[in-house]
Amino acid sequence: MGIRIADLKQAFLEYLEIERGRSPKTAENYDHYLVRLFSWLAARRKRTPEELMLDELSEEAIRQYRLWLNRQEPVLSVATQNYHLIALRMFLKYLARRGIPAVPPERLELAKHPERQVAFLDADEIARLLAAPKGESPRSLRDRAVLEILFSTGLRVSELVALNVDAVNVGKGEFSVRGKGGKVRVAFLSDRARQALAAWLQARRDIVEPALFTRIPRGKSTRNFSRLTARSVQRLVERYAVKAGIVGKRVHPHVLRHSMATDLLRNGADLRSVQAILGHASITTTQVYTHVTDPQLREVHRRFHARSRS
């Protein structure tokens, strides 16, 4: 008797959360991609996804599904198509780990796609952006601290908004942050970031909300000091980028993460250290910065390329 795919999928999602320590959001994303595959396969078999059996998920079925993904309108990017395949490959790895016969995960190759380009700010643009919040109002102090910490630590915006007051040691200038996959790493504060954060903490001393960064109600209201959201931080960064006169670039929180990594590498940091600071699981992810961060390459090319023919 065959095994229902629906039962295996549910067990896989629970495995991701419980044994692999992935967040509910990650499990939700994997579920989204797998549901799309199994709904497509069920429609081809003229039955419901709940009736599908594992032996129907053959290599040929997967090949046909990849063709279907590639021919969607509007066109799905190669990266988006690969997200679907990554979810399926993780599912197949789970089955292999449990000894359940299925398509071997190593037979599933991701599509090749152009090298990802990263957007970053140069030193002058960073200086103007960090100086954009003017004045000493609580809102300006908060916004200055947000920008300084994003650039100092390279935190993802989701990591920033999840921080609580008691998690950050301003005096020590470092703190632990839980990133993707529940992995913990150390984040470091520059002197400027420490000063900006200390000023913000002083300004918010009467706020009982545990979140490090909170909304600030308009007027004199002392209520609704709720946790700042990722979308709010994104709007904050975009607003100050406009104030700083940064044109021709879409500036968002992740650009500050890119800019921080670029700054480290340009000033001589090694790739493995940057990988650890950013919390990348693979050095391959960090390598995306190298093609824009070595100021010596042009000079090396000029001095040594074809020198014997000059």
Q: Is there a single domain that holds both residue 83 and residue 134?
A: no
Q: Is there a single domain that holds both residue 135 and residue 250?
A: yes
**Domain residues for 282?**
123-292
136 — phi, psi (to 5°)?
Answer: -120, 20
DSSP state of 185: E
B/e letters for 40-77, b = 16+ CB within 10 Å, e = fewer, are bbbeeeeeebeebebebbeeebbeebbeebeeeeeeee
Question: How confident is the model at residue 207, as a pLDDT?
Answer: 80
Residue 116 lies in a domain: no
Q: Is there a single domain that holds both residue 167 and residue 211?
A: yes
State the alpha helices, DSSP H only, in the chain.
5-18, 24-45, 59-70, 78-97, 123-130, 138-153, 157-161, 191-203, 230-243, 253-266, 271-278, 283-286, 297-304
Residue 38 lies in a domain: yes
Is beta strand 184-188 parallel, antiparallel or unpaired with respect to 174-178? antiparallel
User: Is 298 buried (19+), middle (13-18) or exposed (0-12) by CB count in 10 A?
Assistant: exposed
Catalytic residue among 139, 185, 215, 254: 254
Residue 140 lies in a domain: yes
Q: Is there a single domain that holds both residue 151 and residue 102?
A: no
* 79 token code pair: 């990266």
Residue 192 lies in a domain: yes
For residue 289, indicate whether it is catalytic. yes
Q: Is there a single domain that holds both residue 162 and residue 251?
A: yes
Q: Is there a single domain that holds both residue 129 and residue 252?
A: yes
Q: Is there a single domain that holds both residue 83 and residue 179?
A: no
Question: How confident is the model at residue 310, as a pLDDT?
Answer: 47
Q: Is there a single domain that holds both residue 77 and residue 130?
A: no
Question: How confident is the model at residue 110, as a pLDDT?
Answer: 87
For residue 258, indicate whether it is catalytic. no
Positions in the chain short of pLDDT 70: 1, 113-117, 219-224, 291-310
**Within 13 Å, how many C-alpha atoms sit on residue 166's CB side?**
3
Question: How confident is the model at residue 120, as a pLDDT?
Answer: 87
Catalytic residue among 45, 180, 215, 243: 180
For residue 301, indicate whether it is catalytic. no
CATH of the domain at 136: 1.10.443.10
Residues 6+ apart with CB under 8 A from 21: 181, 182
Domain boundary among 107, 140, 164: 107
Single-letter residue type at 35: V
Domains identified in the chain, total number: 2
For residue 139, indicate whether it is catalytic. no
Residue 85 lies in a domain: yes
Residues 6+ apart with CB under 8 A from 68: 40
CA distance 133 to 141: 8
CATH of the domain at 44: 1.10.150
Question: How confident is the model at residue 6, as a pLDDT?
Answer: 94
Q: Is there a single domain that holds both residue 192 and residue 251?
A: yes
Q: Is there a single domain that holds both residue 207 and residue 169?
A: yes
CA distance 169 to 189: 9
For residue 156, indicate whether it is catalytic. yes
**Contact assessment for residue 187 and residue 174, using Cβ atoms and an 8 Å cutoff:** yes
**Contact assessment for residue 3 and residue 95, using Cβ atoms and an 8 Å cutoff:** no
Q: Is there a single domain that holds both residue 183 and residue 235?
A: yes
Question: How confident is the model at residue 302, as a pLDDT?
Answer: 58
Residue 280 lies in a domain: yes
Residue 305 lies in a domain: no
Crossing angle for the helix pair 138-153 and 123-130, to the nearest 10 degrees: 150
For residue 252, indicate whether it is catalytic. no
Residue 245 lies in a domain: yes
Catalytic residue among 9, 142, 156, 204: 156
Catalytic residue among 30, 65, 94, 289: 289
Q: Is there a single domain that holds both residue 83 and residue 195?
A: no
